[in-house]
Structure 1
Amino acid sequence: MKYCTKLLVLLLIVFISCKPETKNDFNKTKSKDQELSKNQISKNGDDDFKSAPIDFLEEKYKNNGYSLPDYSPTFPTYSFSNEKLGIFSVNYIGKSEVIQNYWNVSNSKGFFSQFQDINQALGNSKLINDKVSQILDNKINEYYIVASFLPKESIAYFDDGSGDFELKKDAYTYFYIYENNKWVFIKKLLTNKIDKGGVSLYNDLLLNDKVEFSTPIPEKFLGQFEVSTKGELTNDGTGQTTYYFTITTNKIVLKAEAFRGDFLCEGNYKGVEKDNILEVYYNEKDDRCKQSKPNYLIKKDGDEYFIKGVGGEATFNEWIKLDKK
């Protein structure tokens, strides 16, 4: 199968419809300011790209501007391709559900609410690039920056000057996160085995990266805990949810009782201590419950425990007293 490299955002994960390149277009992508010399591409001894081969954030790779792939919610991204390097995209994933949902086309207070005609706006690549740039310039700390990279070793280009290609059978896509001013390897996946796309894929990758190397939970957090919170006001009255946490050395189990409402995210969680706070991450298969930031935070203050992340809008961002049984 042939693939078009122009405007490619993330191979086999995010596809954007693209027209065939003319010879002029293809020559432009190989212009002097975009060409990569062999000295510019880092080589790993094992050729396994556990270190990023380049700095994906260099300005010269942003010539095509930011775009928004066809997902709900979408997210800002830009891409670059070169026969001496391969293909990569840099993706900006919100650190919270609120930020991720800002890019949902149906969000009446989100990114798309500023446009009278959304389809017309999406067809204006310069407009989208400018609007996205303004947001990222002012709120970059609210986003994870994740690069997905398909090296040239995974690609077989057709010898017709078109830039079209096909994947090799053992093609891998490599993922990196930008932390502390450097690219950190997350994971590599067989490209044709990737069965998720969009924010769900990146939430999985980021979540797995956080919990994969989790250490035993400190003794001070072990035990059984309980907290009750009021939910949102409905036509039937105000709901209430009671959370029951059982924390052991290597696992956290959450059960809940909901009055006038449903609770979806029961089950197993992982705990990671950071700065004397226990970060609690969902560790089951329901994508509705997975997120790249902690689902809950637990801290001990003297002899008392507190939790953040429970309840509705009124309590979700507050530290609530957590009773130890």
Structure 2
Amino acid sequence: MDAFYASVEQLDNPELRGKPIAVGGASERGVVSAASYEARKFNVRSAMSGVLARKNCPHLIFVKPRFERYKEISQKIRAIFYDYTDLVEPLSLDEAYLDVTENKKGNPSASMIAKEIRQRIADELNLNASAGISNSKFVAKIASDINKPNGQKTIPPEEVIPFLEELPIQKFFGIGKVTATRMFNLGIFTGLDLKSKTEEFLVTHFKKSGSHYYHLVRGNYYSKVKPHRERKSVAAEHTFSKNLTSEIFMMEKLEKISEELEKRLLRNKVSGKTVTLKIKYSDFKTQTRSKTLPYFIKEKAILLETVKELLYQEKVLNSVRLLGISVTNLNIHSKKTVEKPIDIQLKFEF
């Protein structure tokens, strides 16, 4: 979907159409979740601070996110997908992979199917979508960004290798700024440069990822579309209006975050064994601390006790702007998992 959250807001409020808007917060701690294409002309981007976004575009309009509304629209979009194939792998509310090798319409052209789906989304929901079509999820993902907004790009099998060879390395899906910079320092600027390196060379410099990059640029990456993706984690976090400098204040915030996380675990009917504390400092450096328990948990009291241990595991490095708690190693990975009640002696300070 093209600028999904922002487009939904413009759809529901005609006064916002054609104007630069950002979904998110304008405060000092606010972050842009999505920006309309009118705002992007002023270099307003998702994950940008609200203050910087306002600086780039003084007349920017901020809108509070309405995730229930976005979820409602997302479900309608997926209903359209399922008219064509049951092999739909959602990545988020606004993005999904579809395998249309065998489709319900019997249409031999994936490009025509993509065009028809995009047209239905426009006709039925008044929203624009873009698509990438190829013989692998990796290439289709890259192709989906080429003709945005409201366009599509097909990379047929015989063009995949030339396409990857000419592609700037920073355009490879999964290669972020840090990795791209490391590659630049090694003389790797394009897919062809990457292809010229041996697997041994890449593994030496990028460890396990090196082998992945070696096969990726040769088109040897055929991950299946997985229609039933298992949830791997449940998390809750909060960014504070003022930096926290004391562990005591941090524990107060972590109690509220634990309460929210407990609600999410109960709502999703899952428990987990591994608890991770996420700390983002005022200089934006992020640190995580984890502990794996011998039993599945979802209760606030146990979450809080574990997080307290992680927080006091070592001294915080700086003032803190964000705290988060996540639970992984969930009990949904095996249908045979049986969660037995366990009596746990909790520790309390008197």
TM-score (norm. length: structure 2): 0.23
Higher relative contact order (CA 8 A, sep 6+): 1
Higher strand proportion (structure 1 or 2): 1
Higher helix proportion (structure 1 or 2): 2
TM-score (norm. length: structure 1): 0.25
